[in-house]
Structure 1
Amino acid sequence: MTLSHLELPERRPRLTAAQRMLQIETIYYEPAAIERARGREVLDRFPGARKIEVASHRDIPGLYGNEGRVREWVRTKRSTLVLGIRKTLPVRVNGRSADFIAPGQASGCAMACAYCYVPRHKGFANPITLFVNVDEINAAIAKHSVAQGFKWEPSQTDPELWVYDIGENSDCSVDALLSDNIKDQVAFFRTLPGAKATWATKFINRALLDYDPQGKTRIRFSLMPASVARVVDVRTSPMAERIAAVNDFVEAGYEVHLNLSPVIVTENWLALYAELFEEIDAALSPRAKAQLAAECIFLTHNEGLHRVNLGWHPRGEDLLWRPDLQEPKRSEMGGINVRYRTGMKGRMVSDFAALLAAKLPYCRLRYAF
């Protein structure tokens, strides 16, 4: 047989990062959610998905509280979506990543970081729950912001504007793959006097470069040593891609800070962070460096999440669950958390801050603990 007669297998199209992240097969929805235009828009994006009506987005038998699904942890995140109405719209004081935590337009994530705290409240499954009443969420933020008035005293969050974290329980860069919620919120904050939005992200969604934030949205790129991230940052953008994107997002009108969290202590952790800071320094433009600041949180882990992780990703627990370095602390929710030991942690924070100052002297450390 000549080469001209050989039949080659059909080449499958290469999936984009967005297509790999979300391949929605099942959508659970509250009836009220698909009465909203945003809910119908999301359904239209996934015409082949199985649609299942549920009474409440918070109570889905067989999905939440089903320990047998732990081995499908990643598949559930990739293939399942929940649509609901956010019924309570609280704005909470924060003072660290932001002045206030806004009611989120989503909860849960398609990524699978082994240390994420959100699954502790959902029970063996943590897909994205998307809230379709983003207009009501924005109205609640506007009402709160107007009540604050102007920010007369500068703080570590921002010298002039009130900062609202809109992504406490989700990654807004991934949420933007599902709907226009985030695009709408960036536009909303663009015209909201005296306030700006913020969220932390581990996913580079370049569609956001066209949102025109005009300096009123701060994205915090989550960074850690790549060798550690390859173990615990499951299904996220590679570290080099995150670093390389900083300049582009600054040029697009975003304020970009670094979220150096969680800091996971390994045998050579300071040497790994020295390499990371050198990579950042080499990659950033003068404009990006001039506006740079960072926040740092050392790892807090959870006993319940530890047990869940052993069912799907035990290798990550070799880094996260370190009884030789950690001590227990009961959380406000009543669970047992573990954190690096008192005294030892203080020295670690001091060493980390000194290293950051030496390697990235232009990067203000907003807070560290």
Structure 2
Amino acid sequence: MHRSEGSVAAAPLLEVTRIYAEPAAARSERGRQVLARWPGAEVVEVASHWKIPEVHGDETNVGRWVRIKREALVLGEKKSLGVRPNGRSADFIAPSSANGCAMACAYCYVPRRKGYSNPITVFTNIDKIIGAITRHAGRQGPKPPNQCDPTDWVYDLGENNDCSVDALLSDNVADLVAAFRELPNAKASFATKYVNSELLELRPEGRTRIRFSLMPARASKLLDIRTSTIEQRLAALDDFVEAGYEVQVNFSPVVVYDGWLADWAELFEQLDAATNAATQRQLACEVIFLTHNESLHQVNLGWHPKAEELIWRPELQETKRSQNGATNVRYRWRDKQQYLAQFEQLLHQHLPYCHVRYAF
């Protein structure tokens, strides 16, 4: 096995100088492991990982957006261990082992949940998280085939985080991969925009699905901030298949702009050229068109207005009120159906072996 040439060093992404820690989390075995990885960091005791005004909960932090993500880290305990039904990308959403992200994609919905900049919170009670997943999987009966998977119950591990980046901080992801290796009826799944070659050593044995998010490089350079490049992600696909992962791709988000279809055709050609027969035989994809948010749009104008020129397009979009009352925007429904048909036709033309598992 060769190491992916596109692997990204951790140093530019994370240079932790301050760790906010709930006392019990800091005392735990996993908490001590994280603290040992950043021995020079200042440790600040906090009552709750949810309420740290210096790092989240205040959109006026926009001037320190990336700096907070690079330099701040939070240790907490996951209080809610419930498993939620999904039925789209996965059958279930597992209790997360982390929250937040060191990357700063302009379209990301995660900052809206915890307060904009939202650096990584590592949940240290990983044993309880794995226990909850294991018990839930044990209660499931036979799996009816569906768009998530034909034989296994699929648990999404990264709803509000990127597990590839989380693995730079602790063994939480390694422990989860090992746990799913032993579950006869379930597999893990997470999407990522970061190439972490350390994951190649975890022996998933087909029980963990990694979904590499892809979009045309021209758009990615503007929107995917602090991520691995598209070239690096493409170069990693064969390596992860060889290492025993089920590798799929997320074409996400699909952004409509002048020349967007030509850019996607180029990406499909690059994907075909970058992958061998083994990868192509097992390849499937999700297609997710852009959804944006009015509040995040206003914040982005303060730190990355160029991105908004591409993703805030009122002449193409309509509003949709989310369940939490936020104002989201998406492409007009009728137009989006046309865009999706064009996209899928192009995909079938260039990558006929790539099954569309889920489109939205």
TM-score bracket for this pair, using the shorter chain length: over 0.9
Give 1:262's match in structure 2, choosing from 241, 250, 253. Answer: 253
For 1:196, the equivalent position in structure 2 comes to 187
For 2:316, the equivalent position in structure 1 comes to 325
| Contact 2:253–2:289 (CA under 8 A) maintained in structure 1 | yes
| Contact 2:55–2:119 (CA under 8 A) maintained in structure 1 | no
Shift of 1:62: 2.6
Query: Structure 2 vs 1, CA of residues 195 and 16 (structure 1 numbering), >3 Å: closer, same or farther?
Result: closer
For 2:140, the equivalent position in structure 1 comes to 148
Letter in 2 for 1:327: E
Query: So what's the TM-score if we normalise by structure 1?
Result: 0.94
Q: Distance in 2 between matches of 1:72 and 1:355?
A: 41
Give 1:31's match in structure 2, choosing from 4, 23, 29. Answer: 23
Of 158-167 and 123-132, the range deviating more from structure 2: 123-132
Find out whether 1:334 has 2:350 as its counterpart. no
Instruction: Give the unaligned 5+ runs of structure 2.
Output: 1-6
Shift of 1:116: 0.5
1:246-293: CA deviation from partner (whole Å, max 9, x where unpaired): 000000000000111110111111110000000001111000000000
Letter in 2 for 1:201: T
1:46-76: CA deviation from partner (whole Å, max 9, x where unpaired): 0110110000000113322233311111111
Identity of aligned residues (%): 60
Letter in 2 for 1:99: D
For 2:117, the equivalent position in structure 1 comes to 125
Letter in 2 for 1:260: F
1:318-368: CA deviation from partner (whole Å, max 9, x where unpaired): 111000100111001100000001200110111111111111000000011
For 1:186, the equivalent position in structure 2 comes to 177
Could you say what secondary structure the match of 2:19 adopts? strand
Letter in 2 for 1:128: I
1:89-144: CA deviation from partner (whole Å, max 9, x where unpaired): 11111112111110110010000000010111222321001100111011111111
Letter in 2 for 1:305: L
Letter in 1 for 2:22: E
Q: How much is the aligned-residue C-alpha RMSD, in angstroms?
A: 1.1
Q: How does 1:53-64 map to 2 (within 5 A)?
A: 53-64=45-56
Q: Distance in 2 between matches of 1:99 and 1:297?
A: 17
Q: How does 1:61-80 map to 2 (within 5 A)?
A: 61-80=53-72
Shift of 1:150: 2.6
Find out whether 1:351 has 2:342 as its counterpart. yes
Query: Structure 2 vs 1, CA of residues 262 and 145 (structure 1 numbering), >3 Å: closer, same or farther?
Result: same
Find out whether 1:20 has 2:12 as its counterpart. yes
Query: So what's the TM-score if we normalise by structure 2?
Result: 0.97
Number of corresponding residues: 354
Q: Distance in 1 between matches of 2:15 and 2:164?
A: 16
Letter in 2 for 1:202: K
Q: How does 1:159-178 map to 2 (within 5 A)?
A: 159-178=150-169
For 1:83, the equivalent position in structure 2 comes to 75
Answer 1 or 2: higher relative contact order, Cα 8 Å, separation at least 6. 2
Q: Distance in 2 between matches of 1:49 and 1:92?
A: 35
| Contact 2:180–2:186 (CA under 8 A) maintained in structure 1 | yes
Of 347-356 and 66-75, the range deviating more from structure 2: 66-75
Give the ranges of 4+ consecutive aligned residues of structure 1 lying more than 4 Å apart after TM superposition. Answer: none
Could you say what secondary structure the match of 2:299 adopts? helix
Instruction: Give the unaligned 5+ runs of structure 1.
Output: 1-14
